[in-house]
Amino acid sequence: MSKTADHVLQRLEALVGADQVRTLPPWAPSSQETLEIPIAYPRDEGQARELLRLAESDGLHVLPTGAGTKIALEAPRESAHFLIGTEHLCGIIEFEPADGTLTAWAGTPMRELSQLAAEGGRRVTPQLAHTSATLGGAIATAQTGDDRLRYGPLRDQLLGLRALLSAEISSQSGGRLVKNVAGYDLHRAHCGGRGRFGLILEATLRLHPALGAELHIESEVADLQAGIALAKRILASTARPLNVRVVETAQTILRVHLGGREDVVEDELRTMSAICSSFAPAAPLQFGAPVFRACSLRSQAENLAAWSSMIRDGLELETTLVVEPGIASASLIPSAPIARRLVSSQLPNIPQGIDVVLPTEVPTGLSTGVLALQGAVRKALDPKGLFAN
């Protein structure tokens, strides 16, 4: 650890206590890996403000971190001097099932939110594979869940949030209501902002009615393109699945997740069987974090799948390719976590019509005017330049 890092470590320990500063990664505490930058875990909002005050006075850059389940989606850590972990900033602030809203501290695991909502006859979306992911982390990385096809992206569920922009400034936008257009929607910038615009303290999600029945079905298909063709027929039908996926490992499987009123699910099952007679019930499938995700439009699903397949072949890693034609997305899920840089360094030229969502280093082809405006907005949201970019 460098002298500067050592200095930072001492300052952090003095602020929040030595037991609340770690140099081991929380996602692999028993590993031999040592972080080059420490993580401080404030016990409350007051300590979080003190950490930001330290950053300001010492000219340091910080980066918020949640449970570490989407480490590849964070803003690059290299420019941060320390991380602020939200582990202790957790708990439910307000939950009224009949209103269909849930407000919680940013460090609250999504699992807890889902459980609580279910007890009130509600459903939280996104449903994430890593249920230990935090609310703040899910928002900062704009996580796509298992049910996006039905409910839309996370930004459509986010009703409002409050974030610390500096020690003195907390900024709230939106609210705890399902409908509200007062003020500018700054929370839209935090959603997918990768922690670069402030430390999210609390957020409110819109809830949906719990599903009366759920059913997962699957069928083996000849190949990726055959799976996509069937998926498109399902998407053109009257059914409203939670997701339709083509999963390619050693074999290629078409998977469909149905949910809703029991009579509707039964109806939709008949529709599915008419499209593909070999559908059979299946257990829910959980995927890990993707190392790569690309998006396009539905009409480009075949090209997207073919290109992503080529990427997979080039990576020389054991990965599962998951194509979701309904949300025009393709992901590569590794059998074991790998570093972000490994993927980004191996990406070939990106064809027109395909957007690589991850990793962040991949150039997006935005115009200079758009980039300049993004930069101005970024400065507006982080006026003291505290957050790592």
Of residues 317 through 336, those in contact with other proteins by CB under 8 A are 327-329
Q: Which residue in the set 5, 90, 264, 317 belongs to the binding site for other proteins (CB under 8 A)? A: 264
Torsion sign across C-alpha atoms 67, 72, 73, 77:
positive
Cβ closer to other proteins: 30 or 367?
A: 367
Asked if omega into 42 is within 30° of 0 (cis), the reply is: no
d(CA 62, CA 15): 15
Token pair belonging to 354? 């395909």
In whole angstroms, the minimum distance from the beta carbon of 179 to other proteins comes to 4
Residues 149-208 that bind other proteins (CB under 8 A): 152-153, 155-156, 165, 168-173, 175-186, 188-189, 191-193
| Cα 223 to Cα 300: distance, rounded to the nearest angstrom | 17
At closest approach, how far in Å is the CB of 14 from other proteins?
27
Which residue number, 144 or 309, has a Cβ lying nearer to other proteins? 144
Contacts for 173-178: CB closer than 8 Å, 24+ residues apart: 174/204, 175/204, 176/94, 176/101, 176/103, 176/204, 177/101, 178/99, 178/100, 178/101, 178/206
- For residue 126, cis peptide bond before it (omega within 30 degrees of 0): yes
Whether residue 234 contacts residue 275, with contact meaning beta carbons closer than 8 Å, is answered with yes
Q: Between 101 and 140, how does the x/- string for binding to other proteins read (CB under 8 A)? A: x-------------------xx------------------
Residue 345 Cβ, how far from other proteins at the closest point, in Å? 21
Q: Does 267 bind other proteins (CB under 8 A)?
A: yes
Select 34 or 368, whichever has its Cβ closest to other proteins.
Answer: 368
Helix 262-275 vs helix 224-236: crossing angle, to nearest 10: 130
Looking at the Cβ atoms of 9 and 186, the one nearer to other proteins is 186
Quote the least distance from Cβ 320 to other proteins, whole Å: 20
Site for other proteins, residues 285 to 304, rule: CB under 8 A: 295-299
